[in-house]
Structure 1
Amino acid sequence: MNSTEPHHIVVLGAGYTGMLATERLAYRTRRLNVRITLVNPSDRFTERLRMHQIAAGQSLADHRISDLLDGTGVDFHRAAATAIDPAAHRVTLDDGVVLTYDTLVYALGSATDTSRVPGAADHAWTLNDPRRARHFSHRLTELARSRGAVTVVGGGLTGIEAATEIAESHPELTVTLVASAEPGSMMGARARAHLNRALDRLGVVRRVGVQVTKVLPAGVRLADGEVVPSDLTLWTAGVRVPALAAESGLATDAQGSVRTDPTLRSVSHRDVYAIGDAAAVEMGWGRIHGTCQSGLPTATYVADVVTRRLRNKKVTPFRFGYFHQPVSLGRRDAVIQFTHADDSPRRWYLAGRAAVLYKESVSSSPVPVFALSKKVNVSVTLSKGGRATKRTA
């Protein structure tokens, strides 16, 4: 770095990956002529992985982004990005401010997709926003008095955790989990058997192998025409990424995720990096799917790569392999399926109280990691996956 002007790094998004990348960048570049700006529409950090707990009526700590950044020297700008001009290195914000950047870190994440099924956007709830999740919890409390019915659509990890959390917190309710595939289908047989025993114990009704074709004000309609009555419907099926990257001319895949090279840099614009759910990242075994387990390593990697390039040092490709599938089954039970690098199940799994303790140790609040990242380089990668992660092209 020879310029007297500071190298300006702009990070879009203050979720798990955006916050961690920002904290690590601030630490790694503290002796360089660098200025960092973090942009986010909310001034509070949202723990997306624990949103189902809020929906079930539990309280989580409130973290202001400015407090999390205290002592880092990072400028926080509360706004939403509305346009990126990658040729001019400009980001336009919804408050009228235009930021120029030398390096852009795109960390806008994903949200539950309610656009594909009629009525989902109008009549179903999601776990995209903590305020809505809290409102949902109040509705649950009211509904429990009349012993009503709640339907959770989606048999992935979010749907399973939400259904079990609600059923445990409100045993008066009838909780139905509707899924196109068997819940826990990505797990091995023994872990899946424990999962089903937990669902039975909590009284969660399952409708498996069915498609929801419409969400109604008081139910969901299935492909065969049957209507499952539902006083409250929670939608957890499918995700979407913001359209901003595609609309701004960055190279994206069919879902709108930023296509990246082996160093997580945009294949079309060398000064843009993408991390977390917003990035299309390929390993030798295939594409990484959006989880905190894979997202946090992309954040630390990009912070390190940007710093190394500013120092004119060699960089090596990003490598990542999955290690486990941790699933909460309420507050007193859990199941952990250990996996190969490509997320396929190994023989080993953990269940019950031991799994609860394990999951809490690996999936608890990331705030302590953020704080530690101000002082040291924290490792958040459980596995680099060995040979399976190497790209063949």
Structure 2
Amino acid sequence: MTDNRTRVVVIGGGYAGTLAANRLRMRDDVHITLVNPRPQFVERIRLHQLVAGTHVATADYDSLLGEGIDLVVDTATRIDTANQTVELKTLPALPYDYVIYAVGSTGTVPETIPGATEFAYPIAEYEQAQRLRAAIDDLDPDAPITVVGAGLTGIEAATELAEQGRKVTLVCGGQLGPYLSEPARRSVAKTMRKLGVVVMEDDVVAEVRADAVVFADGAVRPSALTVWTAGFGVPGLAAASGLHTDEIGRLITDETLTSIDDARIVAAGDCAAPSNEPLRMCCATASQYAPQAADTVLSRIAGTAPAEFEYAYAGACISLGRRSATLQVSRKDDSATKVYFAGRPIAAVKEAVCKGTLWALRRSARKPEAAFWLKGGPRPEQPALDKVVAQA
């Protein structure tokens, strides 16, 4: 019997890909295939807990994916736009009518810093966090650990390890928590001091050794293990497929999240750069991109014009170990206000947020129409598509 359903291949089974795949079920004439390199869902917002041994940071897809979605465990290596197939590392290529490109992001270590790629540990992916967890298990309890990068990942990793009694130094290379308001930053710094974290704000790492870090001023500080959280990149699938990307490899799209090269490819999550003006890489962004990317595909299937995407932010919640956290309230454009909340009650809020992300995915598996996203965040004036292509 011929299957006349529209074939949609979702590449990437993270927050964005899973939510988008579920929302596509709003039509019953769509065949949905989700391609993911792992058989389990990875809770990236808990990878710092995996590193510290306080959470497994995975969940089964059984309850997260709606009925009828095919899960293919493999890695996409190329999108063949001419033949409309997604080539896989080990399995036969998958034919498609539309692709939702949701490959996410990964941790990167700069090749320009001597020793960094050899000795530093990124933690943005599950396998990276597992490798770091194993390295920590082999350390003496009093061995010094250096965390490089003062964004959310660096702060959460440093405090999680320090709470367990590890000797941790956080090297900011600039301001601690640059997205925080000054009052919230002081609060976070105070909590870190209580946990024993040494914060070095203005110092810059110039070299990483097996047993030390070297700073730009020539100072050498012992480090039995160096964690690198100061940079993110994206998989190179879009570039390998001949599609326009920004400087770090995010797929450039228009304001409907559609690739500027191919109307059959729609992006969601950390790997998307709408009009070459990407939003912050985070779960909050992915959960807003995803349903709108799915809606763009559904609109094209229905023969209607897709809507331009909308977004807004409400704040950021940062765990500071298991017993404290900080909630920074933001404006819709993601800029920090002076309002923040901190302490043990906010740790419970942060845990609720983490659990809530899985709850939202399970809800979307049961009710694909139930997705929600904020609106009203300002977008910069968008350049014409020919200018976007020139920028790429």
Q: Which amino acid aligns with 1:17?
A: A
Match status 1:24 vs 2:23:
yes
User: Would the aligned equivalents of 1:180 and 1:210 in 2 still touch at CA under 8 Å?
Assistant: yes
**What is the alpha-carbon distance in structure 2 between the residues aligned to residue 235 and residue 332 of structure 1?**
24
Do the aligned partners of residues 65 and 354 (structure 1) sit closer, same or farther apart at CA in structure 2, a change above 3 Å counting? same
**What is the alpha-carbon distance in structure 2 between the residues aligned to residue 250 and residue 327 of structure 1?**
35
User: Would the aligned equivalents of 2:42 and 2:57 in 1 still touch at CA under 8 Å?
Assistant: no
**What is the alpha-carbon distance in structure 2 between the residues aligned to residue 62 and residue 348 of structure 1?**
33
User: Would the aligned equivalents of 2:326 and 2:342 in 1 still touch at CA under 8 Å?
Assistant: yes
| Shift, 1:135, TM fit | 4.7
Match status 1:100 vs 2:95:
yes
Task: Name the residue aligned to 2:11.
Answer: 12
**What is the alpha-carbon distance in structure 1 between the residues aligned to residue 186 and residue 16 of structure 2?**
33
Match status 1:375 vs 2:350:
no
**What is the alpha-carbon distance in structure 1 between the residues aligned to residue 290 and residue 332 of structure 2?**
19
Describe the SS at the equivalent of 2:34: strand
Q: Deviations over 1:117-171 (max 9, x none)?
A: 33222211221343543453354344353x11001011111000000010002x1
Describe the SS at the equivalent of 1:25: helix
**What is the alpha-carbon distance in structure 2 between the residues aligned to residue 236 and residue 291 of structure 1?**
14
| Shift, 1:254, TM fit | 1.4
Task: Name the residue aligned to 2:345.
Answer: 354
Structure 2 unmatched runs, 5+: 384-392
Do the aligned partners of residues 143 and 128 (structure 1) sit closer, same or farther apart at CA in structure 2, a change above 3 Å counting? same
Which one of 24, 39, 48 corresponds to residue 43 of structure 1? 39
Task: Name the residue aligned to 2:189.
Answer: 196
Match status 1:241 vs 2:234:
yes
Which one of 271, 284, 287 corresponds to residue 293 of structure 1? 284
The within-5 A match list for 1:228-377 is 228-282=221-275, 287-364=278-355, 366-376=357-367, 377=369
Question: Could you tell me the TM-score, scaled by structure 1's length?
Answer: 0.91
Task: Name the residue aligned to 1:164.
Answer: 159
More displaced stretch, 119-128 vs 318-327: 119-128
**What is the alpha-carbon distance in structure 2 between the residues aligned to residue 380 and residue 326 of structure 1?**
19
**What is the alpha-carbon distance in structure 1 between the residues aligned to residue 305 and residue 91 of structure 2?**
38
| Shift, 1:67, TM fit | 5.3
Match status 1:111 vs 2:106:
yes
User: Would the aligned equivalents of 2:292 and 2:309 in 1 still touch at CA under 8 Å?
Assistant: yes
User: Would the aligned equivalents of 2:43 and 2:59 in 1 still touch at CA under 8 Å?
Assistant: no
Task: Name the residue aligned to 1:389.
Answer: 379
Q: Which amino acid aligns with 1:378?
A: A
How many residues are paired up? 380
Q: Which amino acid aligns with 2:353?
A: V
Do the aligned partners of residues 312 and 48 (structure 1) sit closer, same or farther apart at CA in structure 2, a change above 3 Å counting? same
| Shift, 1:226, TM fit | 1.7
**What is the alpha-carbon distance in structure 2 between the residues aligned to residue 87 and residue 230 of structure 1?**
50
| Shift, 1:206, TM fit | 1.4
Describe the SS at the equivalent of 1:11: strand
Task: Name the residue aligned to 1:84.
Answer: 79
User: Would the aligned equivalents of 2:299 and 2:306 in 1 still touch at CA under 8 Å?
Assistant: yes
Task: Name the residue aligned to 1:182.
Answer: 175
| Shift, 1:35, TM fit | 0.8
Do the aligned partners of residues 144 and 76 (structure 1) sit closer, same or farther apart at CA in structure 2, a change above 3 Å counting? same
Residue identity (%):
38
More displaced stretch, 309-318 vs 4-13: 309-318
More displaced stretch, 136-145 vs 189-198: 136-145
**What is the alpha-carbon distance in structure 1 between the residues aligned to residue 98 and residue 291 of structure 2?**
16
User: Would the aligned equivalents of 1:341 and 1:389 in 2 still touch at CA under 8 Å?
Assistant: no
More displaced stretch, 184-193 vs 363-372: 363-372
Structure 1 unmatched runs, 5+: none
Q: Which amino acid aligns with 2:55?
A: S
**What is the alpha-carbon distance in structure 1 between the residues aligned to residue 57 and residue 114 of structure 2?**
35
Q: Which amino acid aligns with 1:112?
A: G
Q: Which amino acid aligns with 1:353?
A: R
Q: Which amino acid aligns with 1:302?
A: A
Describe the SS at the equivalent of 2:145: strand
Do the aligned partners of residues 225 and 390 (structure 1) sit closer, same or farther apart at CA in structure 2, a change above 3 Å counting? closer
